[in-house]
């Protein structure tokens, strides 16, 4: 019993600690504070026009503020601008309901394309379609009325923007960047935990799939860090920024540290096949738990840079050395796999040390001290708009289908709303737009979650308003609904829909209660909008992974080929200085993730899929993931420079025949898939001049090349069957 309580307490403490790194509560409080002021003004003045101020405050504050202060400021300004602009457009076209229905097509189409801009593009899309739909449902009939409505929207947006700017102005300059690196280390911690569990005699051994999913979490954290702080506009300026250079190097160290744990996981599987002393197993488990603690504290150190965290990590490093010294005295430590495992643990330790040295001792000013007058004006430089416009008009096949499907479905939903639910006709298309996803399986899942959450939310909200002190309950629904819907938005969409419904019930209730007809209307609109989304996903330009998966698999193999060529060949059109190996590593791992995600969606599609092909796809993707790992391990040895070269006659010239065979296998595998599925990867197979003359493989690198050949040979054999 004591152990269960201790375990529960540990989980609770860990969750609370993680809120420091990922402040979902802080985002929720920002939304609640932005909304509660205009709500109070609306209730006490009895002026229903404050509704527009409330909606503007909510939609501007609901934009997640990530990245640099410049990006955050641009997001808030863009959200405010879209709110005002589409309030005006919607209020004018709403005089003709059927014209409003027709114009929803280009509006929904544009918001669908904003998916190209990432998460923040979707948040800005909310401002566009929400204000267009609500304003067109409540048109204005005179210029003064339009001006008054626009003024309320502008006031609400300005208030939310002021709250948002205040929320990040006093942060240390490097904190947003350091937070993204902290996420990487915390993801590494989760991976170490799984690997350590395999050495725990009282726990179940972690599966290969579970370990790969944690690898994907690390890949996602790295991608988000790069996306938020990539040098898109001022690379020359960033090269002069010493702090940015240091943090970029620290992010790279975190990525390399994850490779060490993956290597430890691979070597662990080999050691489990040998007869090991239980004391040796216990010592390895203790060492891995120390690594887990180091990754955890390093994540918090990147966020806080507190001296006590630095001291804790230093103590863990000393403890690790003591444990490794004890391990070296055990008989099983002389085995080759044991020595290799210790090698990667020491590399992990060295990367932790480098990370500490990279960021410790840096003094950071506050964000509001970061910008001179010129830098402040540069926030709205046209170059940012031009770059975002180029992203926006990226008409790739999937995004175009998604945007067209959403536009047609939204227009049909709005027409149904105008005909049958005229008082709140925007509820149906709003549900349709939110539920519609690029893939059918994701749309079906989102529709079910939203329906369950909405029904539960409106029922619970209506019952709560029937209790005594309904006036105070309204405030509670608005305030806590705003906070909890944000907290659950990325964690559990059904719960998010539940709290969104509570929030809306609090806003729309009149007097001390909410009308029963309003609850029924809200439930009906949710079911209709969700049903239209699901049907349109099946009928209108459907994106089936049955057709997409072969393309994703071929792209993943092609990405590994480009990675392989970059590591081993002198390129005819590209020098090593123009592209880092890290870029090829990222491209290969991201392509593997895309293929894996596509396979998961493929397995959830309706029965029209050919189930017999699923195991073959899974096997091919698994082999391809291992190929990427071997390429990573090869380069990791080169980066570390801590292994001895072979003393036999295996040199650069002897590796050439094996590399030539690997190249031929890549060509056969990709060519087979291109021919079978009528694809064209546009690979120039004669692009290589020759194998690099500077290759000097170490013992570990030789093993990587040999395993790479075996994995690729198995992949090729599987594809031929």
Q: Do residues 579 and 564 lie in contact, with contact meaning Cβ atoms separated by under 8 Å?
A: no
Give tens-digit pLDDT for 322-333. 999 999 999 988
Whole-number Å distance between alpha carbons of 11 and 390: 44
Instruction: For residue 336, report the phi and psi dihedrals to the nearest 5 degrees.
Output: -60, -45
| Residue 574: partners with Cβ closer than 8 Å, 6 or more residues away | none
Instruction: Give the CA count within 13 Å in the CB-facing half-sphere of 153.
Output: 26
Task: Give 453-506 pLDDT, tens digit per residue.
Answer: 888 887 888 778 777 776 777 778 877 887 888 778 777 878 888 888 887 777
For the stretch 363-401, pLDDT in tens is 666 665 555 545 555 666 666 667 666 766 776 677 888
Our CA angle for 196, 198, 202, nearest 5°, is 100
Does the pLDDT of residue 542 top 70, yes or no? yes
Q: Give the contacts of 304 (CB within 8 A, at least 6 positions apart).
A: 20
Q: Nearest to residue 148, comparing CAs of 39, 49, 43, 59?
A: 49
Has residue 604 got a pLDDT over 80?
no
| Structural tokens at position 717 | 């054999």
pLDDT tens digits, one per residue of 198-247: 898 777 888 888 888 899 999 988 988 887 776 444 444 444 466 667 88
pLDDT at 237: 46
Of 142-146, 417-421, 496-500, 702-706, where does mean pLDDT reach its minimum?
A: 496-500
**What is the structure's pLDDT at 303?**
84
Grade residue 602 by pLDDT with cuts at 50, 70 and 90.
confident
Quickly list DSSP for 27-71.
HHHHHHHHHHHHHHHHHHH--TTHHHHHHHHHHHHTS---S-HHH
Of the candidates 230, 326, 229, the residue with the CA atom closest to the CA atom of residue 277: 326
Only one residue has tokens 């003024």, namely 151
Which residue from 652, 641, 646, 628 is spatially nearest to 570, judged by alpha carbons? 652
Q: What is the pLDDT of residue 400?
A: 85
Residue 508 pLDDT grade (very low, low, confident, very high; cuts 50, 70, 90): low
- Provide the token pair at 69: 């202060």
Mean pLDDT computed over every residue of the chain: 82
Supply φ then ψ for residue 569, to 5 degrees: -120, 150
Higher confidence at residue 268 or residue 546?
Answer: 268
Q: pLDDT value at position 467?
A: 75
Name the CA dihedral angle for 64, 68, 69, 71, rounded to a multiple of 10 degrees: -60
- 511-540: average pLDDT: 78
Q: What is the pLDDT of residue 612?
A: 67
pLDDT for res 218: 92
- Give me the pLDDT at residue 646, please: 47
Burial class of residue 467 in the structure, from the number of CB atoms within 10 Å of its CB (0-12 exposed, 13-18 middle, 19+ buried): exposed
pLDDT of 106 above 90: yes
What number is the average pLDDT over the span 582-603?
A: 90
Residue 512 has pLDDT above 60, yes or no: no
Least confident of 87-91, 386-390, 579-583, 666-670: 386-390
Structure confidence by residue, pLDDT tens digits, 543-588: 788 888 999 999 999 999 999 998 888 765 544 444 588 889 989 9
Give rounded-to-5 percent helix, strand, coil for the chain. 80, 0, 20
Q: Is the pLDDT of residue 1 over 80?
A: no
**Residue 203 β-bridge partners:** none
Confidence of residue 192 (pLDDT cuts 50, 70, 90): very high
pLDDT tens readout for residues 137-158: 889 989 999 999 999 999 999 9
pLDDT tops 90 at residue 283: yes
Calculate what percentage of the chain has a pLDDT beyond 70: 84
Could you tell me the two tokens for 275? 């007869």
655's CB contacts (< 8 A; 6+ apart) are 691, 695, 697, 702, 705
> At 313, is the pLDDT very low, low, confident or very high (cuts 50, 70, 90)?
very high
Whether 339 and 320 have beta carbons less than 8 Å apart is answered as: no
Closest CA to 110 of 123, 131, 125: 125
Reply yes or no on whether the pLDDT at 689 is more than 90. Answer: no
Are the beta carbons of 436 and 409 closer than 8 angstroms? yes
Q: Is the pLDDT of residue 693 over 80?
A: no
User: Which residues contact residue 174 at a Cβ distance below 8 angstroms, ignoring those fewer than 6 apart?
Assistant: 243, 247, 359, 362, 364
- Mean pLDDT value across residues 117-129: 81
Residue 290 clears pLDDT 90, i.e. is over it: yes
Higher pLDDT, 267 or 541: 267
| Res 325: pLDDT | 93
Give residue 647's pLDDT: 42
Higher per-residue confidence, 61 vs 240: 61
- In this predicted structure, the answer to whether residue 336 has a pLDDT above a threshold of 60 is yes
DSSP secondary structure string, 511-528? Answer: TTB--HHHHHHHHHHHHH
Confidence of residue 645 (pLDDT cuts 50, 70, 90): low
pLDDT of residue 195: 92
Higher pLDDT, 7 or 51: 51
Q: What pLDDT is recorded for position 100?
A: 93
Mean of the pLDDT values across residues 605-621? 75
What is d(CA 36, CA 41) in angstroms, rounded to the nearest whole number?
9
Contact 512, 638 (CB under 8 A): no
């Amino acid at each position: 019993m004591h152990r269960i309580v201790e375990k529960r307490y540990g989980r609770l403490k860990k969750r609370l600690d993680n809120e420091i790194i990922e402040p979902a509560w802080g985002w929720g409080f920002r939304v609640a504070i932005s909304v509660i002021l205009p709500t109070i003004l609306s209730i006490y003045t009895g002026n229903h026009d404050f509704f527009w101020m409330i909606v503007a405050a909510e939609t501007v504050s609901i934009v997640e503020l990530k990245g640099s202060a410049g990006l955050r400021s641009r997001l808030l300004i863009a959200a405010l601008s879209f709110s005002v602009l589409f309030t005006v457009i919607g209020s004018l076209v709403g005089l003709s309901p059927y014209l409003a229905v027709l114009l929803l097509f280009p509006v929904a189409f544009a918001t669908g394309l904003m998916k190209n801009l990432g998460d923040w593009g979707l948040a800005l899309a909310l401002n566009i379609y929400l204000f267009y739909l609500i304003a067109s449902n409540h048109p204005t009939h005179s210029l003064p009325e339009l001006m008054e409505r626009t003024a309320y929207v502008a006031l609400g947006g300005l208030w939310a923007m002021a709250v948002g700017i205040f929320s990040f102005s006093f942060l240390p300059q490097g904190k947003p960047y350091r937070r993204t690196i902290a996420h990487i280390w915390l993801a590494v911690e989760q991976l170490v935990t799984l690997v350590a569990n395999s050495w725990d005699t009282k726990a179940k051994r972690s599966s290969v799939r579970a370990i790969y999913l944690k690898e994907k979490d690390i890949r996602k954290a790295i991608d988000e860090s790069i996306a938020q702080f990539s040098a898109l506009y001022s690379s020359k300026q960033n090269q002069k920024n010493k702090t940015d250079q240091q943090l970029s190097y620290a992010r790279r160290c975190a990525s390399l540290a994850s490779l060490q744990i993956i290597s430890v996981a691979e070597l662990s599987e080999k050691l489990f096949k040998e007869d090991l002393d239980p004391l040796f197993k216990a010592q390895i488990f203790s060492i891995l738990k120390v690594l887990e603690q180091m990754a955890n504290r390093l994540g918090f150190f990147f966020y806080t840079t507190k001296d006590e965290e630095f001291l804790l990590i230093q103590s863990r490093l000393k403890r690790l050395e003591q444990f490794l010294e004890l391990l070296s005295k055990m008989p099983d430590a002389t085995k080759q796999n044991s020595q290799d495992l210790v090698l990667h643990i020491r590399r992990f330790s060295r990367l932790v040390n480098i990370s500490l040295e990279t960021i410790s001792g840096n003094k950071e000013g506050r964000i509001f001290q970061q910008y001179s007058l010129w830098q402040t004006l540069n926030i709205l430089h046209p170059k940012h708009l031009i770059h975002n416009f180029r992203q926006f008009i990226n008409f790739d096949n999937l995004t175009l289908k998604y945007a067209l499907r959403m536009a047609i479905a939204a227009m049909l939903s709005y027409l149904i709303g105008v005909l049958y639910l005229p008082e709140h006709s925007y509820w149906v298309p709003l549900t349709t737009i939110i539920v519609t996803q690029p893939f059918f399986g994701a749309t079906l899942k989102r529709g079910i979650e939203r329906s369950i959450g909405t029904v539960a939310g409106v029922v619970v909200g209506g019952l709560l308003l029937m209790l005594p002190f309904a006036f105070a309950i309204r405030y509670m629904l608005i305030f806590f609904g705003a906070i909890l819907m944000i907290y659950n938005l990325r964690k559990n969409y059904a719960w998010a829909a539940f709290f969104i419904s509570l929030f809306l019930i609090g806003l729309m209730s009149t007097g001390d209660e909410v009308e029963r007809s309003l609850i029924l209307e809200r439930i009906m609109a949710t079911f209709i909008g969700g049903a239209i989304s699901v049907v349109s996903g099946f009928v209108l330009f459907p994106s089936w992974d049955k057709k997409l998966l072969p393309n994703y698999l071929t792209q993943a193999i092609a990405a590994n080929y480009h990675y392989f060529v970059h590591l081993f060949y002198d390129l005819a059109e590209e020098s090593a200085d123009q592209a880092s190996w890290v870029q090829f590593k990222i491209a290969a791992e991201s392509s593997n993730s895309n293929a894996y995600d596509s396979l998961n969606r493929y397995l959830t599609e309706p029965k029209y899929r050919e189930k017999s092909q699923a195991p073959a796809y899974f096997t091919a993707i698994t082999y391809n993931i291992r190929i990427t790992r071997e390429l990573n391990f090869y380069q990791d040895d080169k980066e570390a420079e801590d292994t001895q070269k072979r003393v036999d006659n295996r040199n650069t010239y002897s590796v050439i025949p094996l590399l030539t065979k690997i190249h031929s296998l890549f060509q056969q595998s990709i060519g087979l898939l291109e021919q079978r599925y009528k694809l064209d990867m546009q690979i120039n197979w004669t692009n290589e001049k020759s194998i690099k003359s500077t290759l000097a493989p170490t013992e570990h690198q030789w093993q990587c090349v040999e395993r790479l050949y075996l994995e690729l040979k198995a992949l090729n054999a599987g594809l031929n069957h």
